[in-house]
Amino acid sequence: MDYRRFGLPDFRSIPQRDYLLALLSGALYALSFPRAGLWPLAWIAFIPLFLACRHKDPGRAFRVGFVAGLGGFGALLYWLNIVMTRYGHLPVVISLLLFLLMVAYLALYPAATLYITRWAEIRGVSPLLVFPLAWTSLEYLRSLALTGFPWGTIGYSQYTVIPLIQIADITGVYGPSFLIALANTVLFLALRRGVRGATYRWPVAGATLLILLLAGTLWYGFHRLHQSPDGATLKVALIQGNIPQDVKWDPAFQEATVKIYERLTLQAAAAGPLDLIVWPESAAPFFVQEEPQLSARIGTLAREATCGMIVGSPALERDGDRMRYLNSAFFFTPTGQVGPRSDKIHLVPFGEYVPLARLLPFVHKMVEGIGDFVPGSKFVTFPTGKGDAGVLICYEGIFPELARGYIRQGSRFLVNITNDAWFGRSSAPWQHLSMYAFRAVENRVPVVRAANTGISSLIDSTGRIADTTPLFHEAVLVGEIRLTNLVTFHTLHGELFIHLLSGGFVLLLVAVARRKRDRGQEFTR
């Protein structure tokens, strides 16, 4: 087949060995994330990809990077097929096509990174200067484009390396991402120079910079870890009802669901005085505003436990003859009254609403139950008596700006209520959980997480995941969290670090574009 005749890239022009190296990079990248959790692999994951891109023009480097992206994101996000087939009820063929389309879109980012790196190198600019800036900046772009999808940002792979991730209260997750990209580049260039016996000028300079940055990051991390929280202590109970996704919205199962949560809540209250009880996302399968008898039963539980309760439930608002549905969390006061309501601001495309619904009338959302949701418009905090709580619903917690918004609104800790039953027994629940360690560090606040089928957990202000529940079990998790009185750089200034990094990247591109092409450059300079 003549690919050029149809304006398509000729993938056959690249040796199979290079594609295998690209797939190896993708595998190392995916394995560095949960559930495999082999986090050291992230620090060498790009080396096979760099080797595959040697001597190639930018177009061929783009293709190699695209294959690496297909392999990496394909292995990382395989669970999307579980969501689409089991719960979205899509045919397997359609699910695979949509999955490949999603993965192909995500693969464009590493492909573009390799294109830019080779393009700059041909003009005499070292990958040490280009690749870390390009990789991190395009990760950030991916978190914004098309409503944003920061899942798989490589810094998240380090969530268990507690001293390293403390820098996130300044840089967010992009600090670790930048260090990983820089380390991969330094190691590859050092290896190539060592084999060829050439000058060590750039590798030595890069290695020196890397060592200084790592040393500074770890010093800062241990310094932060030695600072003890000095705020109030709250005793929290997380209720994991383990309601199967396929019966969650079945009216015939409504009473059974309420009884399960009543029983588990009374069990938690028996453990002693509590400051807060948390039910997961959509734990109450009814409209709190429209079902006074069922709502009163939740109020009775709050009154008997003498503490506030956060309960996930859909909400509705009437706009004339039109009904607006929201994915919400309700606060029940210790006296049993329904208090403020917090609505989910960042909805899941095709999960909670259909983008461009008028143009795609044949596409339906995958969430079973009520109609399309509309987003909330403001940050609402819940008073617990010892500190306000900000509630992140479902995957809202993967967006740092939402967590920061609640903290700036006065929250002293974060609550995540979620329903990860969609993911089945895949690695996705662990991947989802890992990102909340960064939300805790970025704002120096504890995070409590109640999940319908797990993983429910308590995360302290250093990002340590202290306690967790097993998947697909009824569970009650009771523990203490300690608040802090720190206000972090990240809380005050947001993603200033990555904004500066991305600004530097753009300036670098302008400077490179003005340089003359040097065909003698290869991926070892």
Q: Just list the catalytic residues.
A: 281, 344, 394
As given in the structure block, the two tokens for residue 517 are 């092409």
CB-count exposure of residue 133 (10 Å: 0-12, 13-18, 19+) = buried
Q: Taking a C-beta distance cutoff of 8 angstroms, is the pair 436, 464 a contact?
A: no
Amino acid sitting at position 163: P
What are the residues whose beta carbons fall under 8 Å from the beta carbon of 255, sequence distance 6 or more? none
- Rounded Cα distance between 466 and 436, Å, is 12
In 3-state terms, what secondary structure has residue 78?
coil
As given in the structure block, the two tokens for residue 381 are 């905090």
Backbone angles phi, psi at 323, to 5 degrees: -100, 135
Any idea which residue has 């209250």 for tokens? 269
- DSSP letter string over 346-406? SPPBTTTB-TTTTT-TT---S--SSS-B----S--EE--SSS-EEEEEGGGGG-HHHHHHH
- Rounded Cα distance between 117 and 104, Å, is 20
Pick from 156, 188, 201, 192: nearest CA to 175: 156
Residues in the chain: 525
What are the residues whose beta carbons fall under 8 Å from the beta carbon of 145, sequence distance 6 or more? none
Q: Are strands 447-451 and 457-459 parallel, antiparallel or unpaired?
A: antiparallel
As given in the structure block, the two tokens for residue 88 are 């979205």
472: DSSP letter: T
Helices 58-76 and 92-122, axial angle in degrees (round to 10)? 140
| Phi-psi map region of 172: left, alpha, beta (phi>0 left; psi -120 to 50 alpha) | left
Q: Taking a C-beta distance cutoff of 8 angstroms, is the pair 217, 155 a contact?
A: no
Residue 474: count other Cβ atoms within 10 Å of its Cβ. Answer: 17
Burial 403-438 (b: 16+ CB within 10 A, else e): bbbbbeeebbbbbbbbbbbbbbebbbbbbbbbbbbb
End-to-end Cα spacing for the chain: 36
Q: Taking a C-beta distance cutoff of 8 angstroms, is the pair 189, 128 a contact?
A: yes
Any idea which residue has 């396929």 for tokens? 246
